[in-house]
Structure 1
Amino acid sequence: MSGEVLRWSKHIVNDVTPTKDPLARRFPGIRSHHMGIDNWLYLEWLENGTIKNLVGRAIQLGITLPNRLLWRFFLCSKKPEDEDPQPVREIAEGRARGGLIHGDMHDQNIMFGNFIPDDPDTEHRITPILKLIDLGGMRMVEGDGDAMREAVRDNLFDIGIMMVELVTLSSNTARNIYPSESLATKFRMQQDSQEMMTNGGVILPNGNVNPYPKLDTALRGLICSCLTPKSRNRPLASALANVVTTCIENRDEQFYASRGYEGESDDDIKSILDQLIFNAS
């Protein structure tokens, strides 16, 4: 069910139907494997490893991920409206329809595909596509609109956790984040905005100490907004997708260079990806 609903989503692993399924064949004199025809699934090959692989390699080489790479990893997928055999972009129109909870989103269930050089959305021209795998535990939420919106909010919290891991390069830090009002930290999206609570305090400045001085403050704020302990305070998925898309389009190398950030050029990102993914041994 989940695979059919998400088929052709740009950032969900796609199933493949082989012309000659070897598991479906029966051979005279050979005992059956006793698997029903619906008990297995073929998936596309994703050749470039997992987020866990990337984080481990980055720690090994002492590499911090640049903001322009983090923005692109942040952008999450949107369910397609119809059965279109083309990848569907993430720009969200209206409210997220929701209803699906992955239930096991972590650094080994998000994998890298390849680049999309002619990507009309520009998102994957300089970074490889991310795809969510292991949909076996995904469930469809039953109920009214409130229940479906809650499912979306749960997924946003998981996405926030993954972003914390990519910022901190610490899977242990990410694994210890969960919705908790008693452990939440105060933060503001912008200097003059309303104060909120977040369980992403590990990436926030603490007094005069900023643990991640190279992290874009707007990106930090959006990650923290996904990690609010009260789910109703998390952003709408559609609004979040549109903001992140706008930042990807507008925050280029010149934007960061003018603000004193280094290592944000296309060449810098290519070099990092070569070291962490494509030429990693």
Structure 2
Amino acid sequence: MTCSIDGERYWERIVLRHYEDEFEFVVRLFSLGSDALDTAALNQIRDHFNSAQYPRFAYEGVAGRGVFGTTYRVRETLPGPGGAGGQGETTRWLAVKRAAEKEKEALRNEVRWLKELRGSEHIVHFVASRDDGEKEEKEKEKQGPVARLVWKLSSLRVSNNKNNNRGNKNVKEALKGLEGPVLVMEYLANGDLGQMYYRTVKYDLVVPNRVLWSILLCLVRACIAMAYPGKADKNAEPCREEIPSDGTPPSNIEHGDLHMGNIMIGDFARPSSEGEHGLVPVLKLIDFGMAKESKDAVQENLFSISKVLINLIARKVVPTGLGTPATGYKGYRTWATEILPPQTDDNPFSSFDYKYATLDPELRDLIARCLAQDPGKRPGLAEMLREVQAAAAAAADKSATARDEDVMETDDAIHAFLQRALYDAEDDTSENEVTRKDPFGDIGGYDF
């Protein structure tokens, strides 16, 4: 389900339509002309990274395309101790992001926040950036305190951090000559969470509880990264996010666009049997173009990840938030009605004929609390981390002695689910229109 123009293959997201109580994304396949794809920008990126001037880089194609710009995939060859072409030579892939002409400020905003969040395991890794408007902004710096503040917030100076960084200085040099702003990040090849969501719908796959707990734990840690930025050593490998024990108050960073299309799927832990990402790969947030500071940032980020979870569980869009009905449950009202057991006159919450009978009751109750109508009833960041960590560990322990009815929670069952939902190649289709449902935004990695 891709298009091809000049050898480039990519998704084209078209329109969000509303049908009764559901939102639906419609993906159409077109033969797009030059007016739909900025071929001049594509050719510039391709020619730049394929030039003899930068022999260690190679352009590989379009990684994602959204309303606000395009991201390209570039391969970098890192020489070993013996030099280029010698023993120990390694390869890494990079995502190079360019903004559409009228959306440059969104990319500047994203670079600002990715620099702030460097060193976090569950945020896409910032590699480098360049903005050919820097000279102009530096001139503004001389004009007074307001202009200096503007320059401080928007200038895109390149990082010297050394996270997976043997070649980052060379990436910095390789951006010379490109019209900015341009952002370089790690490339995450396993797609986004929206792709997994789409496949669970298409193939009628129930997401195992252990996968749901693992996803939720990654997203909670991403919320911690936003609440406590700058705590990691920028010159070290990315570290796991923890809540400081010294009583440091959380920051006010709100992602602003936290949906499945902006949650990318990374790799497994190494060795694969250890760590939080030994069975289910790590998830990382991308696209901070709409990030901002707000007094309710932590609460908004947690509410957003809870909406992601309930849609994964239900495998459909579940209306939540103001203007949608709430249900009384265990002493409070919640927008998690969809995953609650049905109510009867004799038993307010009966488990009979419950369509989510395989859902872990602890996860159901936690999501119900997270989607409570009254924000005061929702768990805070520390409580979320504590409960999700404990539940994820308990679910893994229970899987070792899984009964027949819990067979979907075994390691083998998890591997089979991920193979189908993430790694199997999609069948080619001749259909002119394919519908993909996504709760919050465009499906496709590295979009704006």
Of 146, 157, 161, the match for 2:307 = 161
Residue identity in the other structure for 2:377: N
Residue 265 of structure 2 is aligned with which of 112, 121, 145?
A: 112
Note the C-alpha offset of 1:159. Answer: 0.7
Q: Does residue 1:14 correspond to 2:129, yes or no?
A: no
The structure, 1 or 2, with the larger RCO (C-alpha pairs under 8 Å, 6+ apart) is 1
Percent identity between matched residues is 29
- Compared with structure 1, are the counterparts of its residues 253 and 197 closer, same or farther at alpha carbon in structure 2 (3 Å cutoff)? same
Please tell me whether the aligned partners of residues 118 and 126 of structure 2 are also in contact (alpha carbons under 8 angstroms): yes
CA contact (8 A) 1:100 1:139 kept: yes
Counterpart of 1:201 in structure 2 is 337
How far the C-alpha of 1:211 sits from its partner, in A, is: 2.3
Deviation of 1:276 (Å) = 1.1
Q: Is the 8 A contact 2:192 2:265 kept in 1?
A: yes
**Alignment correspondent of 2:415:** 270
AA aligned opposite 2:338 = V
Query: How far is the alpha carbon of 1:215 from its aligned partner?
Result: 0.2
**Inter-CA distance 227–265: structure 2 relative to 1 (3 Å threshold):** same
Q: CA RMSD in A?
A: 2.4
Partner of 2:298: 152
Q: Give the match for residue 386 of structure 2.
A: 242
Long gaps (5+) in structure 1: 27-31, 142-146, 189-194
Is the 8 Å Cα contact of residues 118 and 232 (structure 2) preserved in structure 1? no
List per-residue Cα deviations over 1:92-128 (Å, max 9, x = no partner). 3557714111111111111101111347972100101
C-alpha displacement of 1:257: 2.2
Q: 1:162 to 1:274 in 2, by over 3 A?
A: same
- TM-score, L = length of structure 1: 0.82
Q: C-alpha offsets along residues 9-28 of structure 1, whole Å, 9 cap, x if unaligned?
A: 111111113414477423xx
Q: If each structure's strand is expressed as a fraction of its own residues, which one has the higher value?
A: 2
The CA distance in 2 between the partners of 1:102 and 1:120, in whole Å, is 32
Q: How many residues align?
A: 255
What is the deviation of 1:131?
Answer: 0.8
Shift of 1:63: 1.1
Q: Unpaired segments of 5 or more residues in structure 2?
A: 1-111, 129-167, 344-349, 427-448
What are the Cα deviations for residues 20-74 of structure 1, in whole angstroms up to 9, with x where unaligned? 4477423xxxxx84x3xxx221111011111111111112222101101100000
2:201 alignment counterpart: 59
Give the alignment of 1:1-281 within 5 angstroms. Answer: 1-17=112-128, 18=168, 19-21=170-172, 24-26=175-177, 33=179, 35=180, 39-75=181-217, 76-77=220-221, 78-79=224-225, 81-84=231-234, 85-94=236-245, 97-118=250-271, 122-141=275-294, 147=295, 150-170=296-316, 172-173=317-318, 176-180=319-323, 183-188=325-330, 195-207=331-343, 208=350, 209-252=353-396, 254=398, 257=402, 260-281=405-426
Q: Is residue 115–residue 126 contact of structure 2 (8 Å, CA) maintained in 1?
A: no
Give the residue type in structure 1 aligned to 2:354. Answer: N
CA distance in structure 1 between the partners assigned to 2:210 and 2:270 by the alignment: 17
Q: Return the index of the structure with the highest Cα Rg.
A: 2
Query: What letter is aligned with 1:206?
Result: P
Deviation at 1:184, TM superposition (A): 1.4
Q: Aligned partners of 2:240 and 2:332: how far apart in 1?
A: 31
The answer to whether the Cα contact below 8 Å between 2:314 and 2:339 also exists between their aligned partners in 1 is yes
